[in-house]
Amino acid sequence: MSFLQPLLSGILTGGVYALAGIGMSLVFGVMNISNFAHGDLMMLGMYLAYFAFTLLHIDPYLSLVLIIPTAFLFGYVLEKLFINRVINHPHQNQILLTIGLGLIMSNTALLAFTSDPKILTTSYSSSAFNLPGGISISVPLLLSFLITCVIIAILYIFLSKTTTGMALRATSQNREAAQLMGINVAKMSAIAFGLGTALAATAGALIAPTYYIHPLAGHSFLLKAFTICVLGGLGSVVGAGVGGIIIGVVEAMSSTYLSSDWKDVVVFVLFLAVLLFRPQGLFGKMGGQS
Amino acid sequence: MKQITLVTILAAAAIALPLVIGENPYITGILISVLMMAALSSAWNILGGYAGQYSFGHAAYFGAGAYTTMILLTNYSTLNPLICIAVGIIVASIIALITGSIVFRLRGHYFGLASIAVAEIVRLSVLNFDFTGGAQGILLSDVSLWGLDLNSKNPFYYGMLLVLVVTLGITAYLRTSKTGYYLQAIREDQDAASSLGINLSFYKNKSLLISAALTSVLGSLYGLYIRFIDTSAVLDLRLSIEIILTAIIGGVGTLWGPVVGAFLLVPLAEMLRSNLLGDALIKAGLVSETSALGIFLKENLAHAHVLVYGIITVLCILYLPKGILGLFRRAK
């Protein structure tokens, strides 16, 4: 098989991973919290896309117009009700709280939607472009990648040009100084968590047409999103973008040249290697080494 | 003196309990689960509660013990199970040493994440290798030890009890020993501890090794007791979280906290699993059996115990972060 095929599909899948990673990185940067419910928020996005398609007959990519504001609102409320109460607690309490919230989400989904995996089949689900050299590009993957690029561009402009975006970045750089400058950091935390949730749900909706939709689907993405964040540097949005692409390619390459059973192991070994040798990540500002 | 009396009474009661309840496999089964979770959580507590290093990957050591014992016994059926348990300790210690050398260089968020990553690598490897039985798991037909009837549950009750007593004994000893004070100093402030000349890496690894060895013995016992293991039973992230949750609910960093937590959580999970709670609500006339809610409870409550765990975790972190024993301590 050609070397270009896994490279290309890795980049396309990696784009969507990047979206999930950026959401987590944003939350970490602004709130200094590792969100262990991130994968389950992705799972909710998958189900939102599925039900928008089966019940309302909206194309999964168009349904993002509904999913993004819904998820933002959900995340905002979640932060106001639960997350902000542990913002000054030890890390382990924050981790356990978000694990608890994730368990509630995934197991409520299990009760409501049963454990039968659902498949979202659109008219173009299995169609692909054939390029010269025997390379084929799956249409849903390509669409997801292009939408991801648009969303990342919008997010970039939001963070660098708008007042709220700048306030978010200021909070991320130094919470206390931001507060002294008159920034409402509590509100920034809620906005960051809302945005993180919206990005997770978007990533979930974008992979829904190419993946089994299952209440426990979030687990595998959670650890992937962490790997992406750590690779890019926890808190770095650009780093998470690049990290996502790297993870996508590493996964596709190890599936092709090793075996798809071992691709997750390769990703976790890479994760530990980054933690050991470059804990600040590729673009990170803070390190985890003692 | 008062505490010694209390412990003696508790121990005597625990030893006599199977004689009192007689041949009731269901109750004995629940008691074994309670003792196992109490011991697992106490073993985790040595590292998480006293040294303050929250491991989110303790399932790896439990699985190491369980898998080592089961693999050895399926290949060499005449082997003494105690030797298998010993080999399990060695395997778990090797994993612990590798884990320690990686994760103890990290702090805060990174430490928790790295401990999960190591446990996931172990789980996925066991799932993908052939000699571990892969996704099918390992089934063991027959075990024997000194002519004991290992088909009955009582030997495992006493086995789990013994490990629990040993774990609590080590914890009690550590609390007032030099190592224990060092661990608590590391928990409170690593930098201060280090500047006082405490070798951080040595003492962290020491507590991890003790904790991992005890956890692997429990894994081995579990394998011999159930005689069937697969990755979802002994290596899942959910097990690691249940272990932590048990300690949190009882009180992290206290001697009896994990035991209290296990006596609350395990029977609760069992009640949900066997749907006693749904039946009780219906019998009490609170919910009509034919109503939509009644049917829903009857059909689904059995699957809801993880959901309940989630709710308890959230409530506990928000309202009871020091656990039930922490509540009493504050009241004093």
- Three-class secondary structure of residue B228 per DSSP: strand
Residue A84 CB coordination number (10 Å) = 16
Among B243, B234, B238, CA closest to B262: B243
Query: How many CB pairs below 8 A link A and B?
Result: 125
The interface residues of chain A toward chain B in range 188-247, judged by CB-CB distance below 8 A, are: 219, 223, 226-227, 230, 234
B190 interfacial to chain A (CB closer than 8 Å): yes
Are residues B114 and A275, on separate chains, in Cβ contact within 8 Å?
Answer: yes
Are residues B106 and A262, on separate chains, in Cβ contact within 8 Å?
Answer: no
B108 has a pLDDT exceeding 70 = no
Name the amino acid, one letter, at A67. Answer: I
Please give the pLDDT value at position B278: 66
Among B297, B266, B234, B268, CA closest to B92: B234
B98 interfacial to chain A (CB closer than 8 Å): no
The residue behind tokens 């778990």 is B92
Q: Please answer whether residues B42 and B263 qualify as being in contact, where contact means their C-beta atoms are separated by less than 8 angstroms.
A: no
Question: Is residue B65 packed enough to be buried (19+ CB in 10 Å), middle (13-18) or exposed (0-12)?
Answer: buried
CA dist B296 and B290 (Å) reads 10
Among B238, B44, B250, B223, CA closest to A106: B238
A273 interfacial to chain B (CB closer than 8 Å): no
DSSP structural state of residue A118: B
Best of A28, A40, A95, A221 to disrupt the B interface (most B CBs within 10 Å) is A95
Q: How far is B265 from chain A (nearest CA, A)?
A: 15
The pLDDT confidence band at residue A204, using thresholds 50, 70 and 90, is very high
Among A150, A167, A168, CA closest to A16: A150
Best of A99, A230, A255, A277 to disrupt the B interface (most B CBs within 10 Å) is A99
B188 interfacial to chain A (CB closer than 8 Å): no
The pLDDT confidence band at residue B30, using thresholds 50, 70 and 90, is confident
B1 has a pLDDT exceeding 80 = no
pLDDT digit string (tens) for A91-119? Answer: 888 888 999 999 999 989 988 888 788 88
A110 interfacial to chain B (CB closer than 8 Å): yes
User: Worst-scoring range by mean pLDDT, A44-53, B128-137, B229-238?
Assistant: B128-137
Please give the pLDDT value at position A104: 92
Q: Please answer whether residues B17 and B80 qualify as being in contact, where contact means their C-beta atoms are separated by less than 8 angstroms.
A: no
Are residues A107 and B310, on separate chains, in Cβ contact within 8 Å?
Answer: yes
pLDDT digit string (tens) for A236-260? Answer: 778 888 889 999 999 888 888 888 7
Q: Please answer whether residues A96 and B318 qualify as being in contact, where contact means their C-beta atoms are separated by less than 8 angstroms.
A: no
- Sign of CA pseudo-dihedral B305, B308, B314, B315: negative
The interface residues of chain A toward chain B in range 44-103, judged by CB-CB distance below 8 A, are: 82, 85-86, 89, 91-93, 95-97, 99-103
Among A265, A269, A275, select the one facing B110 at the smallest CB separation.
Answer: A275
Among A117, A116, A79, CA closest to A98: A79
CA dist A31 and A186 (Å) reads 9
B121 interfacial to chain A (CB closer than 8 Å): yes
pLDDT digit string (tens) for B283-292? Answer: 676 666 667 6
Among A142, A157, A178, A152, CA closest to A29: A178
CA dist A72 and A197 (Å) reads 6
Among A201, A233, A212, A180, CA closest to A28: A233
B183 has a pLDDT exceeding 90 = no
Rounded to two decimals, what is the model's pTM? 0.86
Strand (E) or helix (H) holding B189: none
User: Worst-scoring range by mean pLDDT, A8-12, A84-88, B186-190?
Assistant: B186-190
Share of chain A above pLDDT 70, in %: 97
The pLDDT confidence band at residue B158, using thresholds 50, 70 and 90, is confident
CA dist A100 and A97 (Å) reads 5
A260 interfacial to chain B (CB closer than 8 Å): no
CA angle B67, B68, B74 (to 5 degrees): 85
CA dist B42 and B47 (Å) reads 9
- What are the chain B neighbours of A78 within 8 Å (beta carbons)? none
CA dist B250 and B272 (Å) reads 20
Q: How far is A81 from chain B (nearest CA, A)?
A: 11
Q: How far is B212 from chain A (nearest CA, A)?
A: 20
Best of B195, B317, B320 to disrupt the A interface (most A CBs within 10 Å) is B317
Residue A283 CB coordination number (10 Å) = 17
The pLDDT confidence band at residue A287, using thresholds 50, 70 and 90, is very low
Please give the pLDDT value at position B330: 55
- Three-class secondary structure of residue A12 per DSSP: helix
A266 interfacial to chain B (CB closer than 8 Å): no
CA distances from A160 to A126, A167, A168, B98, B162 (A): 38, 10, 10, 43, 61
Strand (E) or helix (H) holding A58: none
CA dist A179 and A169 (Å) reads 12
pLDDT digit string (tens) for A36-92? Answer: 999 999 999 999 999 999 898 888 888 999 999 999 999 999 999 999 888 888 888
Are residues B106 and A100, on separate chains, in Cβ contact within 8 Å?
Answer: no
State the average pLDDT over residues B303-332: 79
Q: How far is B24 from chain A (nearest CA, A)?
A: 32
Best of A31, A38, A78, A107 to disrupt the B interface (most B CBs within 10 Å) is A107
Question: Is residue B120 packed enough to be buried (19+ CB in 10 Å), middle (13-18) or exposed (0-12)?
Answer: buried
CA dist B45 and B52 (Å) reads 9
- Structural domain boundaries in chain B: 25-331
CA neighbours closer than 13 Å in the CB half-sphere of residue B59 = 26
The pLDDT confidence band at residue B42, using thresholds 50, 70 and 90, is very high
A1 has a pLDDT exceeding 70 = no
Which DSSP string corresponds to B188-244? H-HHHHHHTT--HHHHHHHHHHHHHHHHHHHHHHHHHHH-EE-HHHHS-HHHHHHHH
Structure tokens at A44: 């909710």
ipTM at complex level: 0.84
Are residues B304 and A234, on separate chains, in Cβ contact within 8 Å?
Answer: no
- Structural domain boundaries in chain A: 14-84+138-277
pLDDT digit string (tens) for A139-189? Answer: 888 888 999 999 988 998 998 899 998 888 888 888 888 888 888 888 999
User: Worst-scoring range by mean pLDDT, A115-124, A178-187, B2-11, B30-39?
Assistant: B2-11
Among A101, A111, A279, select the one facing B304 at the smallest CB separation.
Answer: A111
Among B186, B153, B116, CA closest to B31: B153
Please give the pLDDT value at position A130: 77
Are residues A288 and B318, on separate chains, in Cβ contact within 8 Å?
Answer: no
Are residues B124 and A93, on separate chains, in Cβ contact within 8 Å?
Answer: no
Structure tokens at B278: 């749904």
